[in-house]
Structure formats: C-alpha cells, structure tokens
Amino acid sequence: MKSLTSSHVALAAALIAAVSGCTSTSHPKASLSIEQIMEDGFKGKESLSARISKGQGNEADFKKMAMLTKELALNKPGKGDLASWTEKTRALQAAAESLVAGTPGALDGFKSAANCKACHSVHKGD
C-alpha cells in the first residue's frame, strides 16, 4: 500500500509538470540560432531577404523566409527586452506568411518589417 501511494505521488508530480507548460522543456525551442538565420537569410546584398525586397522572390523563397522568421521568433535576443523582440519577429514572420499567401501589399509589409537597423540597434550586441 505504501508503494502504491508513492507511485501516485510521482504520477501527480509528473502531471503537474506536464500541465504547467511554459517553464518546462515542453516549450517550443528554436532549432536555428539568430546567427544562423542572419547568415542564411539576411546577410549581404544577394541574401534571401534582399532578393525578396527587390521583388525578385519566388514562392520557394517566401516559404524559406517564413520558416526562418518563425525560427527567429523562437529565439531570445542576447540584448533588448523580450516584448520588443517578440513584436518585431512576429511582424516579420506574419509579413513572410503574407508573401506565401499572396496577400496584396505583402511586399511592402515585408520591407518595413525586415528593417535591419531598427532591430539591430535594439537587439544586436557589439
């Protein structure tokens, strides 16, 4: 009887851990770092983001950008507060998803959301 009780306690503890969500490891984590995403999608004049902003992106480009910006939003910046980061990265992700969906005005939305300097000045370290 004693062992049954303690296994119930263990089960209850496991359930509480599962339900309490965010603070546990069940929270979705980014599989790409900010550096990797910058290198892969933003760095340089011929980057994915540069081509998209020039109106040269195709559907595959938009989908890749939607994936990269989703990953970006899952990261936490080394600098600046999280609320600002979440706002900027969600806007970027939403803009990339509008491009995939072909929403009118999506390109202008993307260009303003992909403002390198506005984000770097707040969130990029030295």
Per this entry, what is the length of the chain? 126
CA distance 51 to 62: 10
Contact pick of 42, 61, 93, 97 for ligand HEC (by CB under 6 A): 42
Among the listed residues 35, 124, 122, 24, the one whose alpha carbon sits nearest the alpha carbon of residue 71: 35
Q: Does 95 bind ligand HEC (CB under 6 A)?
A: no
Task: Identify the residue among 32, 68, 106, 114 touching ligand HEC (CB under 6 A).
Answer: 114
Rounded distance between C-alpha atoms, residue 61 and residue 59, angstroms: 5
Tell which one of 68, 89, 96, 97 touches ligand HEC (CB under 6 A): 89
Structure token digits, residue 74: 């899952």
Among 32, 88, 93, 109, binds ligand HEC (CB under 6 A): 88
CB of 125 to ligand HEC, least distance (A): 6
Considering the rule CB under 6 A, would residue 106 count as an interface residue with ligand HEC? no
